Amino acid sequence: MKSLYERSLAVLPPVALRATNLGIVKGDGVYLTSEDGQRYLDFAAGVAVTNCGHNNPKIVAAIEKQLHLLVHGGHNVVYYPSYIELAEKLTKRVGKDYKVYFSNSGAEANEGAVKLALSVTKRNGIIAFSHSFHGRTLLTTALTASNSHYRENYENALPTVYHVDYPDIYNSKLSKHEEIEHCLNELQQLFKNIIAPSQVACIIVEPIQGEGGYVPAPKEFLVELRKICSQYKIMLIFDEIQSGYGRTGYLFAKDYYAVEPDILTSAKGIANGLPLSAVISKTEYMDQWSPGAHGGTFGGNPLACAAGVAVLDIMNNEFLADVRRKGKLFQQGLRQLQQKYSVISSVRGVGLMIGAEFRSVDEKKPLTELVTKIRQEALKRHLILLNCGVEHNVIRFIPPLVVKEAELQTALKVLNESIAASLTK
Ligand SMILES: Cc1ncc(COP(=O)(O)O)c(C=O)c1O
C-alpha cells in the first residue's frame, strides 16, 4: 500500500514545503502516531500551534459540545455564544479596555492589523524589520524579509514596506548597546531620508523573531520603539503569532517584556489547532474601524471559538509558571550540550520558545547542512525537530507546552546522540 507521502506526489503541488515525509494518523499530548504505527515525540507542535497538547481532552470535549449546537453562523450575519465568550475572556487577559476582531490565519490577522493602523492614522507608511516573517498573503509577503524566495516573482504585486535592521545580539559584532543603537539609528535615517514619521501608519515587529531564527529582541529596543511610536503617533504592532499563547510562559511576550503595543496579533495556539486568529487593540482604536472596513466569511468560527475558550481556561497562571520552569530546565540542558559541542554557537529563548544556533567554531559560518543532518538523525530516533533562521542553521524547540520533564530529558538525550552521529558522518 502506498504511504500518504507517496499518494501526495500525484495530487499535491510542491509549493507546500513539508519538514518531514511522515504520514500522521493520530496525536495525543506531545506524541504523534504515524500511519505505520510508530510514535514520535513532537517538538514542532504543528509549528507552535498545539500548545495544550495534541487532542487535549478538555478542548476536544468543548469542540464536540459546540459541534452539536452550531458549526457555522457567520460573524457578518449573527452573534453566537462561543464568539462572545472568547472575546470577553481574551480581552480581559490582554489588559484593560481592549477589543478583538477574529479571523482565520496569522497572515489574515496581520493584514487586519495593518488595515486597522492605516484606517486609524489615515497615513500610508508601513515599517517592518529585516529577517521578519509575517505571512504569505501579498501584504504579509511584503512585510516579510526572512527569505527572498518568498518574494520571488511576486515583487510587482507587493505594496511598499520599508525595512530596518532587527537587533540580533547573538550574531552581531557590536556590543548589545551598540547593536540596539545601530537599529534605532537606521529607523531615524529612514525617517530622515525616505519617509517622514508623520507619514508612517505603523511599525510591525515580532518581539521574538520566529522564522528569522528565534531571536528575542532586547527589552531596551522594544522600550525605545514604544517611545518613538508614541512620540510620532505611529501604531506599534506586535506580531505575536508565534510568540503568543503561553509559548514564552506568558500569555503574550508583551507581558514578559512589559511593553504594550497598540495592536497585537495572535493565531497559531489560540484554538490549539483549529483555524483562528485575532487582531487585538484598544477600544479607542477599534471603535474607529468602520463597519465593513474589514470582514470575512469564516473568521471566528463557532468550533474554533469554543476551542479558544477551553484553551484560555487551561492557560492559567500555574500553567504559565510551569512553562517558564520547564523552559529554564531545557535551556540548561542545551547549555550543557553546548559545553560538549562547540558548534552550538548560541542557545536562547524565552519559556518554551527556544533556539540553538549552529556555526563553525573558527569562522562562525552557518552550519546549515549539519542542522539538516541533526534533524534527520533525530527523526530516525523518533524526535521531530524544525529549523529556522535566515541561514536555516537554528534548531527550534517548540514542544506542546504540556510536555513533561522526562520528555524534555528524552529530547535532550536524542539530540545529544543526533549531534554526535551527524558530526562523525
Ligand atoms: C510571526 C508569524 N507571523 C505570521 C505568521 C503567519 O501565520 P499563518 O501561517 O497562520 O498565516 C507566522 C507563521 O509561521 C508567524 O510565525
Provide the pLDDT for residue 62: 98
Rg (CA), the chain: 21
Mutate to test the pocket of ligand 1, among 242, 243, 277, 353 (most ligand atoms within 8 A of CB): 242
What atom of ligand 1 comes closest to residue 105's alpha carbon? 10
Cα 173 to ligand 1 centroid, rounded to whole Å: 29
The residue contributing the CA closest to ligand 1 atom 10 is 106
pLDDT, residue 16, reads: 85
* Best probe residue, ligand 1, of 110, 129, 132, 133 (max atoms within 8 Å of C-beta): 133
pLDDT at 205: 98
Nearest atom in ligand 1 to 47's CA: 14
Q: Coil, strand or helix: which one is 291?
A: coil
Q: State in Å: Cα 103 to ligand 1 middle.
A: 13
Domains of the chain, start order: 4-55+317-424 (3.90.1150.10), 59-314 (3.40.640.10)
Q: Is 241 in the pocket of ligand 1 (CB under 6 A)?
A: yes
- Mind listing the pLDDT tens digit of every residue in the chain (425 residues)? 999 999 999 999 999 889 999 999 999 999 999 999 999 999 999 999 999 999 999 999 999 999 999 999 999 999 999 999 999 999 999 999 999 999 999 999 999 999 999 999 999 999 999 999 999 999 999 999 999 999 999 999 999 999 999 999 999 999 999 999 999 999 999 999 999 999 999 999 999 999 999 999 999 999 999 999 999 999 999 999 999 999 999 999 999 999 999 999 999 999 999 999 999 999 999 999 999 999 999 999 999 999 999 999 999 999 999 999 999 999 999 999 999 999 999 999 999 999 999 999 999 999 999 999 999 999 999 999 999 999 999 999 999 999 999 999 999 999 999 999 999 86
**Pair 245, 318: CB distance under 8 Å:** no
Please indicate whether residue 132, judged by its CB atom, sits closer than 6 Å to ligand 1: no
Ligand 1 pocket check: which of 268, 353, 398 to mutate, most ligand atoms within 8 Å of Cβ?
Answer: 268
Confirm if 72 and 302 have CB atoms less than 8 A apart: yes
State the residue for C-alpha cell 525605545: 224
Task: Evaluate: CB of 135 within 6 angstroms of ligand 1.
Answer: yes
CA of 279 to the centre of ligand 1 (A): 13
Mutating to test ligand 1, I would choose from 50, 110, 131, 134 the residue with most ligand atoms within 8 A of its C-beta, which is 134
Mutual orientation of helices 219-232 and 176-193 as an angle, nearest 10°?
20
Burial track 113-129 (b if 16+ CB lie within 10 A, e otherwise): bbbbbbebbebebbbbb
CA 23 / ligand 1 centre spacing (Å): 23
Specify the pLDDT at position 313: 98
- What pLDDT sits at residue 17? 85
Bridge partner residues of 29 (DSSP): 54
Please tell me the distance between residue 265's alpha carbon and the centre of ligand 1 in angstroms: 10
